[in-house]
Chains A and B, each alone.
Chain A
């Protein structure tokens, strides 16, 4: 770094009310009181009462969620014949920064492709929901859906296998067509 690149900033000059501090304190207290009155008297809070209200039901400008772009639980897409679209190319598991996708390829029973996934497990606890798998997939077989509220009692439950991921597709295909 050269000296010419260094920008020395002077501290801003304090005004008279800044120097005596209390006027500025009162100013700040006024601001917070305004917020308090707005919540208590007018009821204008910015809270989503979660289990009763959900972000997907709210308009976007009221803090709603855009379902098309949300990155939640994965799904494995099916083609027109209801077969899994995935061709077990391992692009997603290679791209995955969290190493949460585990695929075991098998010979495809169908004539139009060589391989298909015999096992396709995603550890939803390891996943960081970055969407790299979706980007990497050459056949648009894996996608992230808008579902965010998955729960499980064990870690094993949170490892989604192929059938579970296909079920997520059935569940979300109406809201989010491929």
Chain B
């Protein structure tokens, strides 16, 4: 048999490889354009227009000279600038850690994108020629499954029970492979096996996706801390310290808010969580968790702002106090990596937010749902997968826009205010939210258990419970003892809090 490169590639390079390449190009390219969008949003808020000069001609292509394309060439020009700038390293920095820090940050942020379920599950059917295996006495069905390209998995029939044990699952897959013997006029008969197989339209189909994202994203703060420490600069160091405190405080309510959703569905798989939101209540309202757990969404949104170290929580790089914070000493591409990591982190957290609270790739009214009602994620069309990915990306862009909108609207919190918000407000509230979710689930269990979908009735109960919790929290917060007055009445001589009046 002659060597067929195309077949070899199809068989040996798994689908997730292509998805990885495409997603990373889209995300990293998108990050560059997010910086442009950020500048545009900033200028719109301030009644300006924003960068609109750099077109795609770059002074080289004469045809494009007079077109500016709304400044779409700006990210490319910025990129070129970052690459050709001098990579300056001050004396006294820790050379190894200084180089390592931006890498740590961007790597951890990028690998956390791996588990985002972009486009559901693609189902395909292929006929394999298993004549040779049948002749050697092998089970033709097994041979066909062995011929499946890497990273694809055979699919049990769609009406199979959802929670099969692995052995039963394998049996169901085997039963699903149909074998045809076609007698030939001359020679032995040929055997063909028809296999239906699926692959998830995401990079890694992890069943602990939520945990993975939380774990890797909290590693990103190491980049900030190491960068701040290695810079041998007190401002950088302070920035790193602040980022650590920020991270430690806001990881807790973030995790608890996510845990509310995880408890509702009983799974850590982001894909499954998205699939369970892919139906409508009363045929019109999408079954998104923003409607069942609005309070958890609010807390999640606040926490991902703090996680991304962005305004109003950007004390780690407070320009007015710390020069540039942890990246004061960085220049050129190293600085650009910090910058890219910040925005890529925004993409990841926004995508997780979309998956948890906005139904992922799902559009209301079944526009993106697949062929089967009990498996809405399965579709046979690759175009549908791409369309779903676009839907997902547009929703993610919406959350990212909220990030930018907030950044250019709110002033930075003082550090003690940030800590107070986390420890006095968000952590108790998210604990109460988790407790509330557990209580509702306990009483709705019989109603809720069979399919784990949240139907209209449960949704109303959850919504009302959220509203009640919010009201309760507001009432209780009125009767709490006031916070200690840190940073306020320091008796600096000559100030209005001075204990002894100044001599006349």
Contacts and interface: CB of A to CB of B under 8 A. Distances in A.
Interface of A: 1-3, 6, 8-9, 20, 22, 25, 28-29, 31-33, 35-36, 38-40, 44-47
A45 B49 contact: yes
B380 to A, nearest CB: 40
B47 A35 contact: yes
A3 B409 CA distance: 40
Contact of A45 (B48, B405, B474, B501): B48
Given A2-B504, A3-B501, A20 B474 contact: yes
Interface string B391-418: 0000000000000011011100000000
A2 B496 CA distance: 13
Contacts of A2: 504
A48 to B, nearest CB: 10
B45 interface: yes
Nearest to A3: B501
A1 B48 contact: no
Contacts of A1: 502, 504
B46 interface: yes
Contacts of B405: 29, 32-33, 36
Given A1-B504, A29-B409, A8 B47 contact: no
B47, B405, B409, B501: which has the most chain A beta carbons within 10 Å? B409
B203 to A, nearest CB: 34
Contacts of A44: 47
Contact of B409 (A9, A22, A32, A45): A32
Given A29-B409, A36-B41, A36-B45, 19 more contacts: A2-B504, A3-B501, A6-B496, A8-B496, A20-B474, A20-B477, A25-B410, A28-B409, A28-B410, A29-B405, A32-B408, A33-B405, A35-B46, A35-B47, A39-B44, A39-B49, A45-B48, A46-B47, A47-B48
B476 to A, nearest CB: 12
Contacts of B298: 22
Contacts of A39: 43-44, 47-49
B9 to A, nearest CB: 46
Contacts of A47: 48-49
Contact of A35 (B44, B49, B504): B44
17 contacts: A3-B501, A6-B496, A6-B501, A8-B496, A20-B474, A20-B477, A22-B298, A33-B405, A35-B47, A36-B41, A38-B47, A39-B43, A39-B47, A44-B47, A45-B47, A47-B48, A47-B49
A147 to B, nearest CB: 24
Interface string B19-46: 0000000000000000000000101111
Interface in B47-63: 47-49
Contacts of A25: 409-410
A40 B405 CA distance: 14
A8 B496 CA distance: 7
Nearest to A46: B47
A38 B477 CA distance: 38
Contacts of A6: 496, 501
Given A28-B409, A32-B408, A46 B44 contact: no
A22 B409 CA distance: 13
Nearest to A8: B496
A57 to B, nearest CB: 18
Contact of A29 (B46, B406, B474, B502): B406
